[in-house]
Amino acid sequence: MSRAPWVAHFGLKRTPFSKSIDAKDLFSRQAHQEAVARITFCVVESALGVVTGDVGAGKTVSVRAAVAALDPARHQVIYIANPAFGTRGLYVTIVRALGAEPRYQRAELMAQATDLLAAEEAERHRRVVLICDEAHLLEPAQLEELRLLTNADMDSASAFAGILVGQPTLNRQLRMGVFAALDQRIATRFSIKPMDIGESAAYLRHHLVLAGREEPLFADDAIARLHRLSNGLPRMLNNAAIAALIAGAADGKDLVDDACAKKAVAELTQD
57 binding partner (options ligand ATP, Mg ion, none; Cβ < 5 to 8 Å by kind): ligand ATP
Q: Residue 161 Cβ, how far from Mg ion at the closest point, in Å?
A: 19
Give one DSSP letter per residue of 238-251, joined into a string: HHHHHHHHHHHHHT
Residues between 59 and 88 with contacts to ligand ATP, criterion CB under 6 A: 59-61
Q: Strand ranges (DSSP E) for the chain?
A: 48-53, 75-80, 127-132, 160-166, 186-192
Distance CA 46, CA 44 (A): 6
Residue 60 vs 238, nearer CB to Mg ion: 60
Q: Is 60 in the site for Mg ion (CB under 5 A)?
A: yes
Burial of 139 (0-12, 13-18, 19+ CB in 10 A): middle
- DSSP class of residue 171? H
116 binding partner (options Mg ion, ligand ATP, none; Cβ < 5 to 8 Å by kind): none
Q: Is 32 in the site for ligand ATP (CB under 6 A)?
A: yes
Q: Residue 134 Cβ, how far from Mg ion at the closest point, in Å?
A: 7
Residue 81 vs 250, nearer CB to Mg ion: 81
For strands 75-80 and 127-132, give the pairing.
Answer: parallel
Report in angstroms the alpha-carbon separations of 182 from 56, 78, 143, 144, 185: 26, 20, 8, 8, 5
Burial of 20 (0-12, 13-18, 19+ CB in 10 A): exposed
| Spatial CA neighbour of 63 closest among 235, 53, 211 | 53
Q: Give CA 79 to chain center in angstroms.
A: 11
Q: Residue 133 Cβ, how far from Mg ion at the closest point, in Å?
A: 6
Residue 65 vs 223, nearer CB to Mg ion: 65
162 binding partner (options ligand ATP, Mg ion, none; Cβ < 5 to 8 Å by kind): none
Residue 34 vs 144, nearer CB to ligand ATP: 34
Contact 98, 46 (CB under 8 A): no
Q: Residue 64 Cβ, how far from ligand ATP at the closest point, in Å?
A: 8
Binding window for Mg ion (CB under 5 A); candidates: 43-51, 60-68, 226-234, 252-260: 60-68
Residue 59 vs 227, nearer CB to ligand ATP: 59
Contact 158, 128 (CB under 8 A): no
Q: Residue 21 Cβ, how far from ligand ATP at the closest point, in Å?
A: 5
- Which positions from 33 to 62 touch ligand ATP by CB under 6 A, shown as an x/- string? --------------------x-xxxxxxx-
- DSSP class of residue 145? H
Q: Residue 19 Cβ, how far from ligand ATP at the closest point, in Å?
A: 4
Q: Is 93 in the site for Mg ion (CB under 5 A)?
A: no
Contact set with ligand ATP (CB under 6 A): 19, 21, 26-27, 32, 53, 55-61, 234-235, 238
